[in-house]
Amino acid sequence: MVEISNLQIYELRESIIACRNAMRTELPDYDNDQEYEESLKRAISLAKSPSNSGHPNFLTGIRVAFDIKYPNYFSPELQRYHFIDIVTSSSKMHRLAGIVAKGSFNKYVLPETIELVQRLADKFNEDPSYENLIILLSNCPQGIELFMRVNTNYMQLRNLYHQRKNHRLVEDWGAFCDMVRGLPYFEEFINKGGHE
């Protein structure tokens, strides 16, 4: 099941202050607390606009990075989003036998499936031929758990959250949406921002 760790948020203050740049004649003072408070009011107002209007574009500057552990079937769904950059990830191609040896399967993979895959991994470890590799890869269950480091931004998380908050993969997308709900200004920028 999805597990998220090492969550980092970057450029929150700067992006909020920059949301008023269209009405400025000079660079903003990012260290000025009054500037921040005035900009925050404007940011909350802009975030109510639809994502495709251009008004809440400051959300693309609020970058979010995290580590995510996930079952193999989760990855193609996450990768369909426009701005989900995978910094680096675990590799089935290079380390599958080691991943199998660690027993990295979710709770839904049947014991007999795990046993089969472990036998195939052992066979590959004894003879790392192409044929043994492709047999191991081809029989690996979707419930094997992998991990990656991801970068994205509030705009993408806003779109993703509203598309996935009621998804049928409750444990996986539910954990992801829980992480999004825990972000600063979730209600103002993500939940109510431009969505009914």
For the segment 61-80, what is each residue's pLDDT rounded down to a tens digit?
999 999 999 888 888 888 77
Buried b (16+ CB within 10 A) or exposed e, 85-117: eeeeebebeeebbebbeeebbbeebeeebbeeb
Give the C-alpha separation, 140 to 148, whole Å.
Answer: 18
Confidence (pLDDT) at 196: 44
Asked whether 4 and 68 are in contact (CB, 8 A), the reply is yes
Give the C-alpha separation, 94 to 146, whole Å.
Answer: 12
* Mean pLDDT, range 15-33, rounded to an integer: 90
* Mean pLDDT, range 78-83, rounded to an integer: 74
* Mean pLDDT, range 30-42, rounded to an integer: 94
For the segment 121-147, what is each residue's pLDDT rounded down to a tens digit?
999 999 999 999 999 999 999 999 988
**Can you read off the two tokens belonging to residue 57?**
């574009």
User: pTM surpassing 0.85?
Assistant: no
Residues 6+ away with beta carbon under 8 Å from 131: none
Give the C-alpha separation, 91 to 123, whole Å.
Answer: 19
Cβ-in-10-Å burial (0-12, 13-18, 19+) of 186 comes to middle
* Mean pLDDT, range 89-108, rounded to an integer: 83
